[in-house]
C-alpha cells in the first residue's frame, strides 16, 4: 500500500460516516459571492424544536420592526422535516483497496502516481494523487475511461489539478450513494450562523461538508440539467431554505412555472407576490413588471441618497420618516424563480431575454434576484446575453459535453451520476464544486407549506406589464410596435434577406444559425426563421443535432429561384 495514503488515514477520519474524511481539519467554505463563510464557531442549537432564526447572531434582528400583520409570524420548526437516517458508508479497508487498485492501474499505463489522501462524500470518493517526476497531468484525463473500467465504476471524473493543491483528484462513485436530507444542512453551523435572509442550503461536497450559498452574493443563479437529474428538487430546497430563514415581509417570491406542476404546491404561501404564474405570455409580462419595480426602487434610493437595499433598510430602521401614522417600511428582497426557461423563450424570446438581462445587470443592489432553471441547456435557450449576466451556475447531469459547456463553459457535467449529483460554480471561484444536492420529499414540502400558510395570506403586489402585440412576433424577429404593424400585414412570400442567406450557405458549404447571424448581422430569431425557410425550399437538409445542416442546392438553383437578386455570381457555363 502506498505510504502516502497510510499516512493520510490518521486517527480521526470518520470513514464510515457521511462527514468527509480528511487528514486536515475540515476546511471552511471559501468566502466568496456564492458561499457563506462562518465567522468563528457557531453555537449549537439547544433543541431542534426551535425554529431556524438569526436572533441570537444578528443584534439588529430584535429591533427590526415588522409590519403589524407579521409581528407574530413564527419561522418553521425543523421538526416539520424528518430526522436524518444513519447510513453506512465505505469502510476504510474498501477505500484503501480501491486506492491500491487505482495506483496499479495507472502504473500499467506508465503513469507513476501515489495516492496521498482521500475524501469521502455522499456520492463519490475523491482520491488525491501525487504525480511522479515528469508525469503530465493531462495523462490522467486521457485515462478516465480506463480507470473506470479497472474500478468497475459507472464513470469517473478527473480534476487535474485540484485548485490550491499540487495533486490530481480522481472522483470515483460510491457503490451505495448516501442521501443528504435538507434538515441535515439546515441545522448545520454554516446555515445557522448566516445572518443573510437569502441563505440557501444546497447539499454536501465531496468531503461531506455542508454547501451553503447566499443569493445576495451570487447574485443570480442558473440551474440546468437533463430530465430526472435533480433540478426540480434543487428548486424545492432553495425555496424551502428561504421559508426557514425569512418572514414574508423580509423576502417575497415570484414563481413562474410553465409546466404547471412543479411549483403549484406553493400557491397561497404569504411570501408570494402573485399566484404561481403558468402562462408563458403572462410570465413575460410579470418579468417586465419586475423591471418596473427595479426602476421604482432605484428612484426611491436616489431620492434618499442611498446606494442599495441594505443602506435603505438601515436608514428606514433608524428614521421611519416624518409621518408617524405612515412610517417608511423596509423593502423586502424579491426572488424570482423560473422553473423552465425554454418554454418562455419559445413564446416571447425577445421580451423574456430583455427583461432577464436588465434584471441580471442591475437588480442586485435593489434586492431582486433571479433563480432560473431549464432542462434544455441549448444556446437558443441559454443565450450568450443571459449567460454573461448570470455568474453563478449549478449543472446537474447532462447528455453531452456540448451541453456542459453551455452551462459551465467547461466539460464535466456529462460525467455526473444524476439524482442530485451536481457541479456548483459560484461567482468568484475558479472551478466548480462537486456536491450531492440536498433532498426534501413532497410530503415534507406539503407540511412546511401548510405551516406557513396557516400564519397569513399573501398580498399580491406584483406588476404585470402587458406585452406589445400580445407577444406575437413580427417578420423582423422583434416584439413591439413594429411587430404589431407587421402582424397585421400579410407575410411576404420571400424574406428580403433570404436570397443573400441562400447565397451565403451555398458559398460556405454548410448552414447554421450562427453563420447567418455573423454574415447578415441579424438577431437569433431572424436567423432561425431564414434557416427554416431555406429548409422548406429544399436548399438545406434537416436538423442534425450539433452538426451544421447539409447544403443541398447549388448556385444554379439559386439563380433559378432568385434570378439576379443580391448580386450573386453567375453559375459556371456548361
Residues annotated within a binding site for ATP: 225-232
530 close to 497: Cβ distance less than 8 angstroms: yes
402 close to 382: Cβ distance less than 8 angstroms: no
DSSP code of 145? Answer: H
436, three cell numbers: 450531492
497, three cell numbers: 434577406
CB environment 519-549: b (16+ within 10 A), e (fewer): beebebbbbbbbbebbbeeebbeeeeeeebb
66 close to 249: Cβ distance less than 8 angstroms: yes
Residue list, annotated binding site: 225-232
Strands (E), 292-407: 333-338, 368-374, 392-395
Q: How far apart are the first and last CA of the chain?
A: 77
Strand partners, 334: 252, 368
CA dist 315 and 330 (Å) reads 9
CA dist 117 and 128 (Å) reads 5
Q: Residue 236, class by beta-carbon neighbours within 10 Å (0-12 exposed, 13-18 middle, 19+ buried)?
A: buried
Amino acid at each position: 500500500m502506498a505510504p502516502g495514503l497510510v499516512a493520510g488515514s490518521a486517527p480521526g477520519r470518520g470513514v464510515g460516516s457521511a462527514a468527509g474524511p480528511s487528514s486536515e481539519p475540515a476546511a471552511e467554505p471559501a468566502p466568496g459571492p456564492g458561499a457563506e463563510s462562518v465567522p468563528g464557531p457557531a453555537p449549537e442549537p439547544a433543541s431542534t424544536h426551535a425554529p431556524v432564526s438569526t436572533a441570537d447572531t444578528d443584534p439588529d434582528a430584535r429591533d427590526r420592526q415588522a409590519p403589524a400583520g407579521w409581528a407574530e409570524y413564527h419561522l418553521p420548526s425543523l421538526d416539520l422535516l424528518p430526522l436524518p437516517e444513519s447510513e453506512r458508508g465505505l469502510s476504510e479497508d474498501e477505500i484503501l483497496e480501491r486506492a491500491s487498485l487505482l495506483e496499479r492501474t495507472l502504473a500499467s499505463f506508465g503513469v507513476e502516481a501515489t495516492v496521498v489522501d482521500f475524501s469521502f462524500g455522499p456520492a463519490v470518493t475523491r482520491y488525491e494523487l501525487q504525480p511522479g517526476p515528469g508525469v503530465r497531468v493531462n495523462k490522467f484525463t486521457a485515462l478516465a475511461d480506463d480507470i473506470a473500467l479497472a474500478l468497475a465504476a459507472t464513470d469517473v471524473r478527473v480534476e487535474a489539478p485540484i485548485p490550491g493543491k499540487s495533486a490530481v483528484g480522481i472522483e470515483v462513485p460510491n457503490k451505495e450513494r448516501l442521501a443528504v436530507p435538507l434538515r441535515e444542512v439546515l441545522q448545520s453551523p454554516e446555515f445557522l450562523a448566516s445572518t443573510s435572509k437569502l441563505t440557501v442550503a444546497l447539499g454536501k461536497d465531496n468531503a461531506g461538508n455542508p454547501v451553503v450559498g447566499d443569493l445576495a452574493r451570487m447574485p443570480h443563479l442558473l440551474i440546468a440539467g437533463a430530465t430526472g437529474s435533480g433540478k426540480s428538487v434543487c428548486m424545492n430546497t432553495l425555496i424551502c431554505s428561504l421559508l426557514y430563514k425569512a418572514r414574508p415581509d423580509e423576502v417575497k417570491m415570484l414563481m413562474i412555472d410553465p409546466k404547471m406542476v412543479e411549483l403549484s404546491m406553493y400557491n397561497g404561501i404569504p411570501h408570494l407576490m402573485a399566484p404561481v404564474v403558468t402562462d408563458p405570455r403572462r410570465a413575460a409580462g410579470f418579468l417586465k413588471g419586475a423591471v418596473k419595480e427595479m426602476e421604482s426602487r432605484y428612484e426611491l434610493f436616489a431620492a434618499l441618497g442611498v446606494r442599495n437595499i441594505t443602506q435603505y433598510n438601515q436608514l428606514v430602521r433608524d428614521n421611519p420618516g416624518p409621518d408617524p401614522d405612515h412610517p417608511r417600511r423596509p423593502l423586502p428582497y424579491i426572488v424570482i424563480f423560473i422553473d423552465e426557461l425554454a418554454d418562455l423563450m419559445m413564446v416571447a424570446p425577445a421580451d423574456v431575454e430583455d427583461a432577464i438581462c436588465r434584471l441580471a445587470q442591475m437588480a442586485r443592489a435593489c434586492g431582486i434576484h433571479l433563480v432560473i432553471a431549464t432542462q434544455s441547456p441549448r444556446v437558443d435557450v441559454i443565450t450568450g446575453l443571459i449567460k454573461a449576466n448570470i455568474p453563478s451556475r449549478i449543472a446537474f447531469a447532462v447528455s453531452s459535453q456540448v451541453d456542459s459547456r453551455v452551462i459551465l463553459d467547461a466539460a464535466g457535467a456529462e460525467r455526473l451520476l444524476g439524482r442530485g449529483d451536481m457541479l456548483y460554480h459560484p461567482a468568484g471561484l475558479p472551478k466548480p464544486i462537486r456536491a450531492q444536492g440536498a433532498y426534501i420529499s413532497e410530503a415534507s414540502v406539503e407540511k412546511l407549506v401548510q405551516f406557513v400558510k396557516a400564519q397569513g395570506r399573501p398580498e399580491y403586489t406584483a406588476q404585470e406589464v402587458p406585452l406589445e402585440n400580445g407577444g406575437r412576433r413580427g417578420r423582423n424577429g422583434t416584439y413591439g410596435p413594429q411587430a404589431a404593424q407587421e402582424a397585421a400585414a400579410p407575410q411576404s412570400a420571400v424574406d428580403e434577406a433570404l436570397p443573400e442567406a441562400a447565397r451565403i450557405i451555398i458559398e460556405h458549404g454548410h448552414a447554421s444559425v450562427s453563420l447567418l447571424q455573423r454574415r447578415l448581422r441579424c438577431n437569433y430569431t431572424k436567423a432561425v426563421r431564414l434557416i427554416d425557410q431555406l429548409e422548406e425550399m429544399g436548399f438545406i437538409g434537416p436538423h442534425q443535432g450539433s452538426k451544421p445542416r447539409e447544403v443541398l442546392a447549388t448556385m444554379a438553383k439559386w439563380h433559378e429561384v432568385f434570378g439576379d437578386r443580391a448580386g450573386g455570381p453567375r453559375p459556371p457555363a456548361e
